[in-house]
Structure 1
Amino acid sequence: MEKVVECRYWKEYQGLNGWVMFCSAGAFAMRLTREEAKSCGCTEAKRETCKKVMESYIGYSVVPEIIGSKAGEVKAKTPGREPVSPGW
């Protein structure tokens, strides 16, 4: 079956109760810079389409947060995923 939304973050599969379609970037609370969003086609229009599809199939929707890309404007792209040193 052809994917409903062409995006590297879009996941879809058939579960026991029907199709499940969602944005994995939104599901894992990712933050994308404007450049990253543009490179994968995550525009406002496409985000609205993704929201409508998710709401019709699973009842709610989450899409990634788009953040600025200037130096100092982006601190942690994804909350709770700070670089960890091995401590050796």
Structure 2
Amino acid sequence: MCPYVRKGENINGWYYYCDAVAFGLKLTARELEEIGCTPEQRKICQSLMELAVGVGLVPEPADG
């Protein structure tokens, strides 16, 4: 599991987001791959974020 994914439940319901995007981290494609953040996984994460909070932002490689 990606170390930047945050998920859980609070008083308003479920949340699911990416700390890498929230904090504006610039990760290369290689760094993203190393933590399991592949293009396919980003699609899954974005879908889960949209289901949980209505919008989804996932990291894009800084070198591309």
TM-score by length of 2: 0.88
Rounded Cα–Cα distance in structure 1 between residues aligned with 2:59 and 2:25: 5
Equivalent in the alignment of 1:19: 14
In the other structure, the counterpart of 1:32 is 27
Greater Rg over alpha carbons, structure: 1
Q: Percent identity?
A: 36
Structure 2, unpaired ranges of 5+: none
Q: Distance in 2 between matches of 1:31 and 1:64?
A: 8
Q: CA deviation at 1:58?
A: 0.5
- TM-score where L is the length of structure 1: 0.66
- In terms of fraction of residues, the more helix-rich structure is 2
Runs of 4+ in 1 over 3 A off after TM superposition: none
Q: Tell me the residue number matched to 1:68.
A: 63
Question: How much does 1:35 deviate?
Answer: 1.4
Q: Considering only aligned residues, what root-mean-square deviation do their CA atoms show, in Å? A: 1.4
